[in-house]
Chain A
Amino acid sequence: MEMRFILVFLLGLFCCSCGLTTRPEPNLPQPIFESYPLTVVLYLKPEFKNASANIDPVYGWTFEIGQASVEIVTKTLKAMFNRVITVEKITEIPQNFSAVIEPDIRAFKVEIEKLSVEIAYTFNVYDNQKQLIDTVSVSGKEKRQFFKFNLGKYLTEQAMKDAMAQLMVKFQNDPEIQTWLKARSETRTLKELKR
């Protein structure tokens, strides 16, 4: 009974000042990253773009994670590649591109008693023949030991930022993607030589 009271109290503090809908507004610092000279298509599926998580059915506390994820994924890919073309339908995918990146939210977990938020994404990376190169999985987590104004929103933004950092690092170390990138750069060099 006492534990239940504490949880309700924590929930109150967690959502205070944000009403019952939390809309994260994640920021991305200017990364140290040498961007790839490629044009990629960011395919935003409706279920990704409109994703929301209702973490407390009793109080109806909802996190609108889809729009925030669109913002931070777009910013991240723009830092990673020369050009990013965003499409919302497969039919909108243009002719000249190097890869299609299709993000998805795999999990979103809020642990009120631990004051922590975790978000996991998968990124399907396809080549220009629309063949899957690899799926990159990342997960970001943030926890705090103290209460902060609008804590749930803050933790979600930090977890998203952490996940994007992991995406940038994993992309550079993923063997499948590195093989593909190497092949791309060799093809380009050959084309440049023929010219």
Chain B
Amino acid sequence: MRLFLQITVFSLFFNLIACTSTHTQQEASQVQPLKSIEKVVLIGDFNVKSEFSDEKVFDCLADGILDINPKLAIIKPEEFRNQLFPYFTGSTSPHTPEEYKALLNNPLVNRRIKAMGVRYLITLIESKTGTDYNGGIVCGGSYGGGGCIGLGLWDRNTRLDAQIWNLQSGNMDGNVQTQAEGTGVMPALLLPIPLYFPATEAATCQELGEKLGNILSGKT
């Protein structure tokens, strides 16, 4: 009975500190809801220090967007880049409103974008994941045996910043920043036992995807 009580108290304590929370900031008042014939494309930005390639950006955001509105049409990054070659490769992608506008002034590019029906281009401009270790575990041993004692804690945070570019006007119509923080817990009683790994990256992707889904569906 006493052991059960101890386990319950420990579990409650660990549950209190082991959690993942997300925060979002957005400025997307210019973004209009997508019409049924309009599409959105999700791409990464090769020029920024990001851990997200094109495929990873798509995997990260598409599910969250479609969870909110399964009818939204999303174009895969490779298809978009190939259709607009030579203009959206790593070294030829626009980054500023001036560069977007100059590109959209090219009639061939403008015509292709209209033919594809792409209204918005969402690009992930920053992705960062950091970990800070706290707490401590001490291990020792001798001929008679050994073991560890202590509590290992680590704070993990992930931040993703996305920009929403209007490919009809060349303006950046919105930007969304999402951050997730979580604390991992590993108590050590003889052996270190990892109890909770904070999945901040997955939480940030889901949150950002859902926010974008809401924005593109006019649900903000």
Interface residue ranges of A115-171 to B (CB < 8 Å): 138-146, 161-166, 168-169
State whether the Cβ of B84 lies closer than 8 Å to any Cβ in chain A: yes
A141 CB contact (under 8 Å) in B51, B81, B83, B90? B90
B92 within 8 A of A: yes
Residue contact B82 to A32, C-beta cutoff 8 Å:
no
- Whether B90 lies near A32 (C-beta < 8 A) is no
For chain A, give the interface size range: 20 to 34
Instruction: Please report B residues at the A interface, Cβ cutoff 8 Å.
Output: 46, 51-53, 56, 81-87, 89-92, 108-109, 112
A32-B84, A144-B53, A145-B51 known; A165+B89 contact, CB < 8 A? yes
Interface of A is mostly: mixed
Question: Other CB < 8 Å A-B pairs besides A29-B83, A141-B46, 4 of them?
Answer: A140-B90, A162-B90, A165-B89, A169-B86
Q: Are B86 and A164 in contact (CB under 8 A)?
A: yes
Which chain A residues have a beta carbon within 8 Å of chain B's beta carbons? 28-34, 138-146, 161-166, 168-169
CB-CB under 8 A from B85, the residues of chain A are 28-32, 161, 165
User: When the two chains form the complex, which single residue of B56, B86, B90 contacts A168, counting CB atoms closer than 8 Å?
Assistant: B86
Which residues of A are found within 8 Å of B89, using beta-carbon distances?
Answer: 140, 161-162, 165-166
A106 to B109, CA, bound (A): 30
Give the residue name and chain of the B residue nearest to A164 (CB): B86
Of the listed residues B51, B84, B89, B92, the one surrounded by the most CB atoms of chain A closer than 10 A to its CB is B89
Q: How far is the CB of B8 from chain A (nearest CB, A)?
A: 42
Q: Chain B residue with minimal CB distance to A30?
A: B85
CB distance from B62 to the nearest CB of A (A): 17
Taking CB as reference atom, which chain B residue is nearest A163?
A: B91
State whether B108 touches A165 (Cβ < 8 A): no
- Name the CB-closest residue of A to B78: A29
11 A–B contacts, CB within 8 A, in A order:
A32-B87, A139-B91, A140-B89, A144-B53, A145-B53, A146-B56, A162-B90, A162-B91, A162-B92, A165-B89, A169-B86
In the bound complex, residues from chain B placing their C-beta under 8 Å from that of A138 are: 91
How many angstroms between the C-alpha atoms of A133 and B89 in the bound complex? Answer: 27
Residues of A within 8 A of B82 (CB): 29
Residues of B within 8 A of A140 (CB): 89-91
Specify which chain B residues have a CB less than 8 angstroms from the CB of A29 in the assembled complex. Answer: 81-83, 85
A166/B53 in contact, CB under 8 A: no
- B46 — which chain A residues lie within 8 A by C-beta? 141, 143
Q: What CA separation (Å) do A105 and B92 show in the bound complex? A: 20
Q: Which of B52, B83, B92, B112 contacts A165 (CB 8 A)?
A: B92
| Shortest beta-carbon distance from A101 to chain B in Å | 17
**Distance between A20 CB and nearest chain B CB, rounded to angstroms:** 27
B51 touching A165, Cβ below 8 Å? no
Q: Tell me the complex Cα distance, A168–B91, Å.
A: 12
